[in-house]
Structure 1
Amino acid sequence: MNVASILKSKGRAVSTVRPNASLLDCTKKLGSKKIGAIVVVGDSGLVTGIISERDIIRAISENGAQALNLMVSEVMTRNVVSCQETSELDELMEMMTKGRFRHLPVLEDDALVGIISIGDVVKYHVAEVEMEVSAMRNYLATG
């Protein structure tokens, strides 16, 4: 299964924030949408970073409550690892495990077209395995 299949099922909506937004505004958006990361986009619409709950916790541990006054650009992860619609589940699992992150923006020709979370990867991987098990059972039963 590839990313395009996942996006077709789950949708392509992606929450974004501008680099000059405050961390407080960002946390409100995370909380209201019940998500773990937001993609940071510049004025041109290009991805400039990603900010996750972990980034925010790190900022608060270093700066205390004053961290909420910082701009997103001061806290975000700048080296964004992304995937494409043609990326396969196994690739995503390897990238997320190696990089120790839980969200991958999906880019096509530098345009943001979706986001994949570790939850999406696990959900679709389990579904894939269940289909294989079912097919194997049917094969053995009719064998």
Structure 2
Amino acid sequence: MKVEQILAKKGKEVFSVLPTITVYEALGVMSEKNIGAILIIEDTVLKGILSERDYARKIALKAKSSKKTFVHEIMEENVLTVTPADDLDYCMELMNTKRVRHLPVSDNNIIIGIISISDVVKAIIEIQKETIKHLDSYISQ
């Protein structure tokens, strides 16, 4: 299965904020959209990603104020991306080795979606269920 197949099922909606807003404002958007990470995009260019983990480790545990800290101060700037043509094994390996939970999907340097570890796991389970169904069918014949 390819990334494009996951996006076809889940949708290509991308939520983003500017690097110049406060972390508090970004968390508000994340809460409103019920997402665990948000992309930081400025002038169609991916500048970074901000996750709940970033907030916990870089704000809450350091007793900083999310209302006084700007997104660009704590966002992860080295964002790994995948393409629609990448397969799930590659995504899973990337997420596992680089310890990330979200991968923006880029097509010709334009962000067209984002997938999470949950999306990848769900897709792999679906593939396994189909395989089991086919094997059961084969054995029953």
* TM superposition score normalised by structure 1: 0.95
CA deviation vs aligned residue, 1:89-108 (integer Å, no higher than 9, x gap): 11111000011111000001
Q: Could you tell me which residue of structure 1 aligns to residue 54 of structure 2?
A: 55
Conserved? CA contact 1:59–1:67, under 8 Å: no
Conserved? CA contact 2:22–2:66, under 8 Å: no
Query: Equivalent pairs: percent with the same residue?
Result: 34
Supply the RMSD in Å over aligned alpha carbons: 0.9
Provide the C-alpha distance between the structure 1 equivalents of 2:96 and 2:56, rounded to a whole number of angstroms. Answer: 20
Q: Could you tell me which residue of structure 1 aligns to residue 27 of structure 2?
A: 27
Aligned structure 1 segments of 4 or more residues deviating by more than 6 angstroms: none
Q: Which has the higher helix share?
A: 1
Conserved? CA contact 1:30–1:37, under 8 Å: yes
Q: Could you tell me which residue of structure 2 aligns to residue 119 of structure 1?
A: 118
Provide the C-alpha distance between the structure 2 equivalents of 1:67 and 1:13, rounded to a whole number of angstroms. Answer: 26
* TM superposition score normalised by structure 2: 0.96
Q: Could you tell me which residue of structure 2 aligns to residue 95 of structure 1?
A: 94
Q: Could you tell me which residue of structure 2 aligns to residue 134 of structure 1?
A: 133
CA apart distance, 1:134: 0.5
Matched length: 140
Aligned residue type for 2:7:
L
Q: Secondary structure at the match of 2:67?
A: helix
Q: Could you tell me which residue of structure 1 aligns to residue 9 of structure 2?
A: 9
Gaps of 5+ in 2: none
